[in-house]
Amino acid sequence: MRGMLVRRPLSLRQKMVLAMGGLVLVLGLAGTIHARLTLSNISNDELDRRALAISRGLESPATELLLTNDIFGLYLRVNEITATNADVRYVVVFDSSGDVRASSFAAGLPAGLRSSNPVQTSDPYSLTTLESSEGSVRDLAYPIQGGRVGLIRLGLTKKPIESRVDRLTFNLLGLTGLALAGGLAASYFLGTVLTRPLSGLAAAARAAGRGESAPQHELYAHPEVGQVAVAFDNMTRELRERDEERTQLLAKVMTAQEDERRRISRELHDEAGQALTSLLLGLTHLEQSVAEDDARALLAELRVMTTEAMDLTRNLARELRPSVLDDLGLEAAVGRYVADYGKKQRLDTDFHSGGFGVTRLRPETETALYRIAQEALTNVARHAGASSVNVLLERRDGKAVLVVEDDGCGFDVSVVRGSGSPSAKLGLLGMEERASLVGGTLAVESRPGSGTAIFVEVPIDGGADERDAHPDS
C-alpha cells in the first residue's frame, strides 16, 4: 500500500542481541524483586525478634521496679534502652491499672498510641505496624507477668532495614545493568562471529548471480558453515560449467542458424532467382510474339506477378542473410538495413557511423551486432509507435558501440523483464544473449512516454578480432 512503511526483518545478530538482552533483563529484574521481598521478610522477622528480646530483657527489672515503686530506676532503664539501640524509637511502661510509669516521650504519650495495639488476654504479646512522621514503626505490646504487673510498649523504626533493602536493591539493579551490558556485548560479538561467514556466503551468492567466481575456501574450517561453503562452491562450479556448456551450445546453435540462413539465402538468390528470371524472360518473349489482345494482357499480368515474386524472393534472401554483410561489412549492412527499414515502415531514420575505416570485425561479432540492430528495429516497429529512429554505430576506445534510440511510447524495463509480454521479453533476452556470446554488454533505458534507447558495447582485440575489409583478403 502506498505510503505504508515497510518493516525490515531483523537480522540474526539483532535477534541474538535482543534475545540475550531480554533474557538478562528478565532474570535480573526477577532476581532483584525476589531478593528484595525475601530480604524484607527476613528483616521484618529479625526486627520482631529484636523487639521481643528487648521487651523480655526489660520485663524482669521492670517488674521489680514497678513493685517497689522505683519510678526513677524504671526511667533510667527506659532511657538506657533508647540510648543503646538506635532503631528503638520509644519505650513506654504502663502499670497494671494502665497508668504510664516511665516513657521515652519527653512531651507525653502521643494521641492514639495507647489504643493502637491492644493485646488479647489469650495472646502473650501483640505486634503491629504503625505509620508515623518518621516512617513505619514496628510496635510491640508486651504484657509484664501476663499483664498482672503492667505492659511494655516498644516501637522499632523500619527505616534502617528499608535503607539496607533499598541499598541491596540498587546494587542488584547495578549488577543487572552490568550483566545486561556484558550480555549485549557478548551476544553482539557472538552474532558477528556467526553471521560473518553467512555474510561471506551471501556476497558469494551475489557474485555468482553476476557470473563471477568467488570460492569460499576460508570458510571450510568452520564446523557447520564449512559444509555449507563446500556445498555452495560445488553448486556454483556446477552452475558455471553448465552455463559455459549452455553458452557454447547456444553459440553453436546461432552459428548453425546463420549458416543455414546463408545457405537458404544463397539458394533463394541463385536457384529461385534464376528460375524466376528465366520465367520472366519467357513471359516477355511470349507477350511479344502473341497477337491476341487477351493473351497479351494475361501474359503481361503474369509478367508483373513474376516480377513481384522476384522482388519478394530477393527481399527474403536479403532478410535471411544480407550479402552486403559478408561482402562489405557491418557498417554498410546496418546502413542499408536502416534505410530500407525507414522506407518500409515509413519512419524518419537517421544512421551515423564512424571509426571502422577499412578494417572488419570478426564474423561472429558483425553478425551479432547486425542481428541486435535488426531485432531492436523490429521491436520499434511492433511496440514503440515511434515516428523517428536514430541508429549509431561506431568504434571507440577499443569497442564497437551500437545505439538504437526511438521517440516511441517507451516502457518500464523492470516490468517487461519480470512479467511483460513474451515477445518483448524474448526480444530483450535474445539481444542480451547475442551480446554476451561475443563478450559484450547490452543496456536498455526506457520510461513510459519517454522513448527507448538500447546501448551495446562489444570489445575489440585490435588484432585477432579484426580482418581486412577487402574481399580478396
Say which CATH class 12-169 falls into. alpha beta
The Cα 418–Cα 156 span in angstroms is 82
The Cα 367–Cα 329 span in angstroms is 10
Query: How much is the pLDDT for 346?
Result: 85
How far is the CA of 155 from the CAs of 26, 81, 88, 152, 415, in angstroms?
A: 38, 11, 6, 10, 85
Closest CA to 249 of 375, 103, 437: 437
Instruction: From first to last of the 473 residues of the chain, give the pLDDT tens digit.
Output: 444 455 677 777 788 888 888 888 899 899 889 988 998 889 889 989 999 999 999 999 999 998 999 999 999 999 999 999 988 999 999 998 889 999 988 888 888 888 888 888 788 999 999 988 778 899 999 999 988 999 999 999 988 888 888 899 999 999 989 988 988 888 888 777 776 666 666 666 666 666 666 666 555 556 555 666 666 667 777 777 676 666 666 666 666 666 666 667 666 666 666 777 777 777 777 777 776 777 777 777 777 888 877 777 777 766 666 767 777 888 888 888 888 888 888 888 888 888 777 677 888 888 888 888 888 888 888 877 888 889 998 888 888 899 998 888 888 777 776 665 555 566 777 888 888 888 888 888 888 888 888 899 888 864 434 444 444 43
324-473 maps to which CATH number?
A: 3.30.565.10
Distance from chain centroid for Cα 186: 24
Strands 348-354 and 388-396: parallel
Query: How much is the pLDDT for 450?
Result: 82
Query: How much is the pLDDT for 419?
Result: 62
One-letter identity of residue 139: D
Cβ atoms within 10 Å of 174's Cβ, excluding its own: 11
The Cα 156–Cα 41 span in angstroms is 16
One-letter identity of residue 405: E
- b/e 257-280 (16+ beta carbons within 10 angstroms → b): ebeebbeebeebbeebbeebeeeb
Query: How much is the pLDDT for 430?
Result: 80
Residue with cell string 563478450: 439
Give the H/E segment covering residue 352. strand 348-354
Please, what is the Cα angle at 389 between 354 and 384, to 5 degrees?
Answer: 145
Closest CA to 323 of 369, 258, 265: 265
pTM (predicted TM-score): 0.49
